[in-house]
Structures are given as structure tokens and as C-alpha cells.
Chains A and B, each alone.
Chain A
Amino acid sequence: GQNIDQPTEMTATEGAIVQINCTYQTSGFNGLFWYQQHAGEAPTFLSYNVLDGLEEKGRFSSFLSRSKGYSYLLLKELQMKDSASYLCAPTFSGNTGKLIFGQGTTLQVKP
């Protein structure tokens, strides 16, 4: 497998910052997606990283280190609506572009 590892659950306070980490095997790695999934709904695209570094998109940023097999999703100014599951999904060469998802991190934002 691709040994994708992310925390199962996290809790944070409204207005705070939270970082969700993801590690994966580096062999054959292409790029990495982050998806958000609210309960009972489809996953929605947040970010795609292929180069090392931080990419910022509004309140959400995503970081990638290819050599370390490590990514994180940073959520700033947390809102109650950010309570959801966050899915890390690396892609690998030769696998038809399919996404291999981690188990997801369930984030609960509290008032």
C-alpha cells in the first residue's frame, strides 16, 4: 500500500488555527490532493500540491515536502462550518491517476 497516515480526529476552537498532517510513501509519488467531506456529502476539492512548499488559498493552505513524504493542511480563522472530514489523497505514477485516500481526519470545531 501507500502507507497514508493522518490523525483520525482533531478538535479546535472557532477562530483558531489547526494543522492536519499527512504522511505517505515517497516511491513513485506524483502529487497530493486534499479534499473536504461534510457528513453524508461528496468530497470537494480543496488543493493540489506537486511542488515543495506552501500554497495558500484564502483561509486554507497546503504544504508539501516531497523528500519527506509529508503534507499538511492549514486552516485559519476556523468557522463552525469547517467541521468536516479532511481527506489526504496522494497520487502515484503508473496508477491511472486514481486517488488513494487516507482514512480522513474528522475535525470538530467548537464555539
Chain B
Amino acid sequence: GDSVTQTEGPVTLSEGTSLTVNCSYETKQYPTLFWYVQYPGEGPQLLFKVPKANEKGSNRGFEATYNKEATSFHLQKASVQESDSAVYYCALSAPPNTGKLTFGDGTVLTVKP
């Protein structure tokens, strides 16, 4: 079946430093890839999605490129802020596109001022 593997946490950074959360996936199909973010006490919310290989998604300073050859979708941000502290999930949806999302285990990010 489909699977997603991402950087194990927790990750602790200082404000202003750069972030990379690795994500690799396995599927026999051609997936749509997602990054979701979950703040304490809330449900996950979509950060962005990328449906096509070699395209980049971005939102709120975060970005990731769908690398089909490497089956990767790493999340990056050049300069993190304390408000970015959250859990980040990489996910995929593959044909027959029932709407089912396969999630990674999540990466807990803490940004210290």
C-alpha cells in the first residue's frame, strides 16, 4: 500500500533559522502531495498541495517541490518564527482518488525566540 515517511521529531530551532522537514513517499500510482499543519488543540489544516511532478507548492513562506524521480516532497522555510511551532504532516492521495489521505507520522516543530 501507500506510505509516507518524514523526519522524526521533535525539531527545535531558534527564530530566524531555516527549516527542512524531509518527506519521502511510496505509491504505485501518480499521487497528489500535501503538507498539513496542526496547531495545539486544533485539527490539521492544509498548508498547500501539489498535484503535478516537478511543480512547487508554497504558502506562508513554506515551500516544497514534488520530486517524482526521488519520490520526495521536502518542506522548507528560510526563516522560521515562533508562531510556526506546530506539527507538520506530509500526506498523499493516490488514484483512484477516493479522497483517502495517507499521512506521515508528523514532525513536531518548536521554535524558540
A, B in one complex: no
Interface set of A (CB-CB < 8 Å, partner B) = none
Interface set of B (CB-CB < 8 Å, partner A) = none
